[in-house]
Amino acid sequence: MSSPDSFKLDLPVRPRRLRRSAARRLMVEETRLRAADLIAPLFVVDGKPAPEEIASMPGQYRLNIADLVKECRALWKLGVKAVALFPKLDPKLKNAEGTEELNEDGLILRAVRAVKKAVPELVVITDVALDPYTSHGHDGVLNAAGDDVDNDRTVARLAAMAVRQARAGVDFVAPSDMMDGRVGAIRAALDAEGFSETAILAYSVKFNSAYYGPFRDAVGSAQAAGTKLLSKATYQLNPANRREAMIEAALDTAEGADILMVKPAGAYLDIIRDVRERSDLPLAAYQVSGEYAQIHAAARMGWLNLERTRDESLLAIKRAGAGLILTYFAKDVAKALAG
């Protein structure tokens, strides 16, 4: 037998040939991330004198409207083309019906108007759900028994909510509630009020996930409910169900969604791939607060490299089939891509 030093395989195909240098690797790179692929979720509050860091989401802040405008200008300059806005309300404004959402001069509507005035080309997306406004923390109004969300009454509220957001100048409304029929009702309401150009980014496949905890802290819905373990299992998808996810995506497509979305992203790459293979609509995925927080936590412990893990996680989401990614890493990644 020949010695290891002289041993030579007769291989016509050697994949490592394409990995021998950085230039070669870049030439054959199949998946690339651009700043324009990223959507930055941002949290807005009323009257805070300075940005307030969210303890469970390092590097993320609750911003007053003036600081929100500054952040949006900075993101636009870095090449991030879209933001998704989420309000953090004073608990005194919350009640079981979420009636502060009816306020025509409410926080999120003022925020939309300010951002669109300052950065008119920036795509502004707003959440259509009642959980930031309700004292119980659910995404809708409750039934007479108070033990579940009333689907149809909630949908009527969401459709009217979407119209108010469109009137404020939003580009996309994003129903995140998972009520049956809400995309169709929102599309009909928008069209009836003359907002046929306002688009719908639908949270089409949103799972009842354990990864949402830091977000609920950020908008105060966990505190409103008095627990971080509020169950939304009667309307959000069972994490065990893959086929049901395809039904939800198909329904939103039929009802007029312009973009579909899967949430969360990292634990549901198979679902992203399934939706991508079944739909020709643009597809987004939401790298949620828990995904962001766990990467930061592991990096702080010295167990993972923050930048490499961040970038790999986003590449995996895009490789699975998402063209757009909502991620709290948007600004840092855009800076890295620009640098």
In the chain, domain spans? 31-338
- Contact residues for 261 (Cβ-Cβ < 8 A; gap 6+): 174, 201, 202, 203, 204, 205, 206, 283, 284, 285, 286, 326
Cα distances (angstroms) measured from residue 258 to each of 175, 197, 232, 282: 12, 11, 25, 7
Output phi, psi for 131, to 5 deg: -60, -30
**Chain position carrying tokens 């953090």:** 88
Q: Within a 10 A sphere around the Cβ of 123, how many other Cβ atoms?
A: 18
Question: Six-digit token pair at 125?
Answer: 């997306």
- CA pair distance 304, 312, nearest whole angstrom: 12
Q: Is 103 helix (H, G, I), strand (E, B) or coil?
A: coil
Q: What is the pLDDT of residues 52-82, one digit of tens each?
A: 999 999 999 999 999 999 999 999 999 999 9
**Nearest-10 crossing angle of helices 107-118, 151-168:** 30
3-state secondary structure 214-260: HHHHHHCHHHHHCCCCCCCCCCCECCCCCHHHHHHHHHHHHHCCCEE
- CA pair distance 64, 72, nearest whole angstrom: 12
- CA pair distance 85, 88, nearest whole angstrom: 10
Cα distances (angstroms) measured from residue 131 to each of 223, 286, 330: 11, 18, 24
DSSP 139: S
pLDDT for residue 225 = 47
**Closest of 244, 220, 246 to residue 233, by C-alpha:** 244
* pLDDT beyond 80 at 229: no
pLDDT for residue 230 = 75
What's the burial of 250, exposed, middle or buried (CB within 10 Å: 0-12/13-18/19+)? middle
What's the average model confidence in pLDDT over 312-319?
A: 98
DSSP 193: T
Q: What is the pLDDT of residues 3-34, one digit of tens each?
A: 777 889 999 999 999 999 999 999 999 999 99
Q: Which amino acid is at 142?
A: L
Q: Which of 206, 232, 318, 331 is catalytic?
A: 206
* pLDDT beyond 70 at 281: yes
What percent of the chain is predicted at pLDDT more than 90?
Answer: 90
pLDDT for residue 2 = 64
Q: Which of 81, 94, 232, 263 is catalytic?
A: 263
pLDDT for residue 84 = 98
Output phi, psi for 272, to 5 deg: -55, -45
**Closest of 216, 162, 152, 169 to residue 189, by C-alpha:** 162
**Closest of 318, 309, 306 to residue 282, by C-alpha:** 318
* 70 labelled catalytic: no
Q: How confident is the model at residue 222 (pLDDT cuts 50, 70, 90)?
A: low
What's the average model confidence in pLDDT over 39-58?
A: 93
* pLDDT beyond 90 at 246: yes
- Contact residues for 267 (Cβ-Cβ < 8 A; gap 6+): 209, 211, 239, 291
- Predicted TM-score (pTM) of the model is 0.94
Q: What is the pLDDT of residues 70-127, one digit of tens each?
A: 999 999 999 999 999 999 999 999 999 999 999 999 999 999 999 999 999 999 999 9
Question: Six-digit token pair at 248?
Answer: 């939800």
* pLDDT beyond 80 at 226: no
- CA pair distance 132, 44, nearest whole angstrom: 11
125-129, 143-147, 264-268, 324-328: range with lowest mean pLDDT: 143-147
Q: Give domain 31-338's CATH number out of 3.40.50.300, 3.20.20.70, 1.10.645.10, 3.40.1360.10.
A: 3.20.20.70
* 206 labelled catalytic: yes
* pLDDT beyond 60 at 1: no
pLDDT for residue 223 = 52
- Quick check: bond before 264 cis, omega within 30? yes
- CA pair distance 145, 304, nearest whole angstrom: 48
Q: Within a 10 A sphere around the Cβ of 321, how many other Cβ atoms?
A: 18
Q: Using an 8 Å Cβ cutoff, are 149 and 140 in contact?
A: yes
